[in-house]
Every structure is written in structure tokens, then in C-alpha cells.
Structure 1
Amino acid sequence: MTQTGSIWLVIVLALVAANLPFVNDRWLLVGASAQGRKPLFARALELLALYFVVGTFALALEKRAGQIAPQGWEFYAVTGALFVTLAFPGFVYRYLMRRGAPTDAQD
């Protein structure tokens, strides 16, 4: 796989992984289904765990290419912010979209 292909693979994987906690009601994506709704705190913890999973995958691809570079805190701050930004569509879908007509609508 080329470096460009690896980069796009990581970006697409990050986009999918960042939205998984918001479109899935299972605990840690594969566990038992949550009773009722999962709290936002649980979704945020899953988001953090998936950030590390995608980061580990990206590090493995970088190691395979032979270009491991040391990273400072700035790198992790920027990639964390990017991961949270990529999660915005899932957050909007889960918490901000209205489902159906409001129950207290006046005609």
C-alpha cells in the first residue's frame, strides 16, 4: 500500500470510529445492549478508547513504512481535536436531530 493510500485509510477509519459511539447503543461496541440510553459520559469514554485504537493502527502503518517519528504533546492535542471534530456528525445525529413532530406542537 502506498503512503497516500495509508493516509486515506487512517482518515476514513478515524471518521467511522469517531461516529461509532453515537450510532451504536452497545457497550464498547460489541458488548450487551444498553438498557435505555447510554449516557454521554460512556460515549465519550468509548470515543477516547477508539482514538487510541485508531492511533495504534496508524502507528502500525507508520512502522510498516519504516518512518516512525517521535511526537510531542502537540501532535496528540491536534489529532485528538481532529478525532472529536470527526465525531460531530454522530453527535448531531444522536443528540441534536429532532425525531418526528414535537408532542407539544400547537396547531
Structure 2
Amino acid sequence: MQNLLLIGTLAALAANLPFLSEKIFWVRQPQDEQKAFAWRLLEMAVGFVLVGLVARLVEGQQAIVHTQNWQFYAVVLALFVVLAWPGFVWRYFWRRPGL
């Protein structure tokens, strides 16, 4: 149960991190003042893959890793996008322009 909470928390954090900073991967400032939405999508994709790898490692420590079909990954990706909703709303709907 603790591992499920850990993976869920890690997924929620990874889904929202791209919307919390104007730096690319929290390291490099983009050439223009604002980070493009494509960079945020790339950061979300990298976060999705990293969380998936951590989840697979945790599952491998506890039991045999089950093979998954494309339907599993489609549903998990949709859940990851839903987890990103608070960060998206904060970045594009609540913040004033120029902040």
C-alpha cells in the first residue's frame, strides 16, 4: 500500500512539474521569455516514462512483472494527463499574464 501511495504521489508531482517553472527541465532558461507549450509536453512525456520505470522497478521487487498491452498504457497516460490538470489550470487560467 505504501508503494502505491509513493507511485501516485510521484506521478502527480511529475505531471505538474512542467507547469511550475519557466526553465526547461528546471535547468535552462529558454531563449524567449516564456517556455513553449511543446517543451511542457516533452517534460510531461519524460516524467511519464520515469514514473513508469520507477513503478516497474517497484513491481519487480515485490512480484513478477506482468506484461501489459497497449490498452494499459493508454489508460495510464490518460490518468497522467488528468493528474496534470491542476498545474495546467494554475499556469494558464489562474495566473495573470506576465507573471
> Normalized against structure 1, the TM-score is what?
0.84
Unaligned regions of 5+ residues in structure 1, if any? 101-107
Q: Where does structure 1 differ by over 2 angstroms across 4 or more consecutive aligned residues?
A: none
Matches within 5 A, 1:37-76: 37-76=34-73
In structure 2, list runs of 5 or more residues that go unmatched. Answer: none
Q: How many percent identity over aligned positions? A: 39
**Within 2, Cα distance between the matches of 1:40 and 1:99?**
17
Q: Deviations over 1:78-106 (max 9, x none)?
A: 00000000000000011111428xxxxxx
Aligned residues: 96
CA distance in 2, matches of 1:13, 1:24: 17
Q: CA RMSD in A?
A: 1.3
Distance (Å, rounded) in 2 between the aligned partners of 1:49 and 1:65: 25
Question: Within 2, Cα distance between the matches of 1:40 and 1:26?
Answer: 12
Instruction: Work out which of the two has the higher radius of gyration on C-alpha atoms and give 1 or 2.
Output: 1
The aligned counterpart of 1:103 is: none
Q: Offset of 1:25 from its aligned partner?
A: 1.5
